[in-house]
Structure 1
Amino acid sequence: MDFDWRLVVVLGPLLIAAGWAGFNIFAAALGQVQSFLNKNT
């Protein structure tokens, strides 16, 4: 059974981009939650 490297070539950049976007969104969301919690104390 041969491994098809075209799958990695196509999906690799998409997964990297999705991970980077998720990381940035998570960081912004975490900052907003911390700001909200600090306002209410």
Structure 2
Amino acid sequence: MDIDFRIALVLGPLAVAAGWAGFNIFRAALQQVQLFMDKEG
């Protein structure tokens, strides 16, 4: 069974980009939640 590394070559950078975008969105969302909690308290 041969593995086609072209799939990994294409999907690898896409996975890294999606992970980086998700990390940035999560960080911004966490900051928004912290601001909301600070204003409530």
TM-score > 0.5 by shorter chain: yes
SS, match of residue 2 in structure 2: coil
Per-residue Cα deviation, 1:3-30 (whole angstroms, up to 9, x for no partner): 0000000000000000000000000000
Q: How many percent identity over aligned positions?
A: 66
Question: TM-score, normalized by length of structure 2?
Answer: 0.97
Question: TM-score, normalized by length of structure 1?
Answer: 0.97
Q: Which runs of 5+ in 1 are unaligned?
A: none
Q: 1:4 maps to what in 2?
A: 4
Q: Which runs of 5+ in 2 are unaligned?
A: none
CA RMSD of aligned residues (A): 0.3
CA distance in 1, matches of 2:22, 2:29: 10
Structure 2 residue identity aligned to 1:7: I
Q: 1:35 maps to what in 2?
A: 35
